[in-house]
Amino acid sequence: NETSTNLIAGALMFLLRDPEQAEKLRGRPELIPNAVEEALRCETPVQGMWRVTTCDTHLGGTAVPEGSFLMLRYAAANRDPAVFADPEYFDVERPNAREHLSFGKAIHFCPGASLARKEASVAISQMLERFPRLAVTENNDYRHHPSMLLRGLARLELSLD
């Protein structure tokens, strides 16, 4: 559940640091699934995955021999300006938010993707609905756990008032 927990906390961090985005969701809850996709894009819970090349290839003009050990960085691809306009900005209305690679692709697609999306949608919906004055506190430093593979806040302190 660590990746889902990190996704939910990251989504709340982005939403509550930009109250305009949170208000859009409160006023238009049908945007919540897209906001989850945007959180997956911006706060990619699994930063990348290792792969081994099965044949000689070229990647970005660099020769990569068969048997090379690579780490594909989903998080970097999710901020690619060739794919996402203003990629550093969290936008609950981003039209192509679902084009992220946070769950991998094809045979390497995360089997828990549907569950993670549902958990995050329900959690965000309920937090915004039940706590209309929900906010981040000034005590947050927004530090993430030190990990090359997983991304998640060390803590997210919230105020209900």
**39-73 per-position pLDDT tens digit:** 999 999 999 999 999 999 998 899 999 999 999 99
Helices of type H across the chain? 2-17, 19-27, 32-42, 74-77, 113-130
Cα–Cα distance between 62 and 94 in angstroms, integer?
Answer: 33
Give residue 1's pLDDT band: very low, low, confident or very high (50, 70, 90): confident
User: Tens digit of pLDDT for each residue in 77-92?
Assistant: 999 999 999 999 999 9
d(CA 85, CA 99): 12
Average pLDDT, the chain: 96
Cα distances (Å, whole numbers) of residue 114 to 89, 144, 161: 25, 25, 32
Nearest-angstrom CA–CA distance, 8 and 153: 10
pLDDT of residue 158: 96
Q: What is the pTM of this model?
A: 0.93
CA 158 remoteness from chain centre: 19
Structural Rg of the chain based on CA atoms: 17
